Amino acid sequence: MNSHTRTMSVLTQIFAVALFNLRALPQRKAAALTAAIGIAGVVGVLVGVLAIAEGFRRAMTVSGSPEVAVVLRSGSSSEMTSGLERDATRTVADAPGVARNAAGPLSSAELFVIINLPKRSTGTDANVPLRGVEPGAFDVRGNITLVAGRRFATGRNEVMVGAGAARAFAGLDIGKQIKVGQNVWEVVGIFTANGGLAESEIWADTAVLQPAYHRNNSFQAVYVRLDSAAAFQPFKDALTSDPKLNVKVSRLSDFYEEQSTAVTKFITTIGVFIASLMALGALFGALNTMYSAVAARTREIATLRALGFGAGPVVCSVLVESVLLSILGGALGAAVAYLLFDGYRASTINWQSFSQVTFAFRVTPMLLGKAIAFATLIGLGGGLLPALRAARLPIAAGLRES
């Protein structure tokens, strides 16, 4: 028998034996279903938790255009710990590479404070970011869309509310007033930001917010739109080499990525940890199922071996069955997770700003692919030992099994 014929023969054997296994599956359907459902549960939880991380990461990074830069005081890890004087913000706005329109540089010196509002879901207070922005903020961000009402008027105690914040917090409907400290602000508009972080914020005129918070003429960050993504480095170099300034310059995309890393990592770690624990259970489920399958088919396997089928094809066929069951379970779990979680809206705290970020769970194709790969690994792990056992069964003894 030449090598090609031998290879074909081995493949034929694997295919044939795997087919017998699968045909006999209905006789073991209870055990097979238990294993598949166990794996579906694991994959469902994994996809669910990772969808949280994915949704949070997207909310934090989706609005992070590489053509937008954010300038903070040097050494600041977030806007909360930053502070810039008016002169510094003007220098930033006039720096090389900043885009301009008829009104001047596309720049917004901003103030960032945290206020308390009751959540709609629980009625308990939670932190909401209140951002003071300059008129240029809309052109700088480029993705702010009013979905109801109007923009706040400059010089007035008016706010516009991100759609996520409006959904999550009570009293943020158009026409309502919110009382923060001694000040009362009227909600005049609701906006979206393509699902990005700004949707979790409340925006007001920075010139009105400053005196309300006794900030005189200080800001916390300057956001600028650059001529192009390539203009970032000259812009950064100009600012960091200016002896009058002491600033940290980041692309907005990098800044948001950095801001989201801690929470995303935390959620992912928890998710993978929980899923790994569950996977251990599912692995034993799969092992048990496949050991039972091998035990129930001892005589069949011995008969096939006696007829001349090799040990390799027997190992492969058991693995094929285990992996197919796992993929079936994984696909079921992924589908249920997709139906239940994709687009589900929630909020969590952003540790960098100590405020709530609203976001939608995201079950991405990549995530589904990872989940199926995870299920496949469980199937391989659960099938390997029983497969080896099947291959090592003494043929003569196996033929007499009842």
Partner 1 sequence: MSATRPPLVHISNVSKIFKRGAEEIHVLSGLELAVNEADFLALMGPSGSGKSTLLNLIGGLDRPTSGTVQIGDERVDQLSDRQLAGWRARHIGFVFQFYNLLPALSAERNIELPLLLTGLNQAGRREHVAAALAAVGLSHRAKHFPRTLSGGEQQRVGIARAIVTDPTVLLCDEPTGDLDRKSGDEILALLQSLNKDHGKTIIMVTHDPHASARASHTVYLDKGQLSNNPVA
Closer to partner 1 by Cβ: residue 18 or 130: 18
Q: How far is the CB of 5 from partner 1 (least distance, A)?
A: 6
Closer to partner 1 by Cβ: residue 24 or 229: 24
Q: How far is the CB of 292 from partner 1 (least distance, A)?
A: 16
Closer to partner 1 by Cβ: residue 4 or 244: 4
Q: How far is the CB of 318 from partner 1 (least distance, A)?
A: 15
Q: How far is the CB of 383 from partner 1 (least distance, A)?
A: 19
Closer to partner 1 by Cβ: residue 302 or 327: 302
Q: How far is the CB of 24 from partner 1 (least distance, A)?
A: 4
Q: How far is the CB of 310 from partner 1 (least distance, A)?
A: 5
Closer to partner 1 by Cβ: residue 12 or 116: 12
Q: How far is the CB of 327 from partner 1 (least distance, A)?
A: 21
* Strand bridging mode 221-225 / 107-118: antiparallel
Q: How far is the CB of 33 from partner 1 (least distance, A)?
A: 18
Closer to partner 1 by Cβ: residue 312 or 343: 312
- Beta carbons within 8 Å of 214's beta carbon, 6+ residues apart: none
Q: How far is the CB of 305 from partner 1 (least distance, A)?
A: 7
Cβ(250)–Cβ(69) below 8 Å: yes
- Dihedral (Cα; 33, 36, 42, 44), 10-degree rounding: -90
Binding site for partner 1 (CB under 8 A): 1, 5, 8-9, 12-13, 16, 20, 23-24, 27, 299-300, 302-311, 395-396, 399, 402
* Three-class SS of the chain: CCHHHHHHHHHHHHHHHHHHHHHCHHHHHHHHHHHHHHHHHHHHHHHHHHHHHHHHHHHHHCCCCCCEEEEEECCCCCHHHCCEEHHHHHHHHCCCCECEECCEECEEEEEEEEEEEEECCCCCEEEEEEEEECCCHHHHHCCCEEEEECCCCCCCCEEEEEHHHHHHECCCCCCCEEEECCEEEEEEEEEECCCCHHHHCEEEEHHHHHHHCCCCCEECEEEEEECCHHHHHHHHHHHHCCCCCCEEEEEHHHHHHHHHHHHHHHHHHHHHHHHHHHHHHHHHHHHHHHHHHHHHCHHHHHHHHHHCCCHHHHHHHHHHHHHHHHHHHHHHHHHHHHHHHCCCEEEEEECCCCEEEEEECCCCHHHHHHHHHHHHHHHHHHHHHHHHHHHHCCHHHHHCCC
Closer to partner 1 by Cβ: residue 167 or 299: 299
Closer to partner 1 by Cβ: residue 5 or 241: 5
- Dihedral (Cα; 177, 155, 81, 243), 10-degree rounding: 170
Closer to partner 1 by Cβ: residue 126 or 399: 399
Q: How far is the CB of 385 from partner 1 (least distance, A)?
A: 20
Closer to partner 1 by Cβ: residue 238 or 318: 318
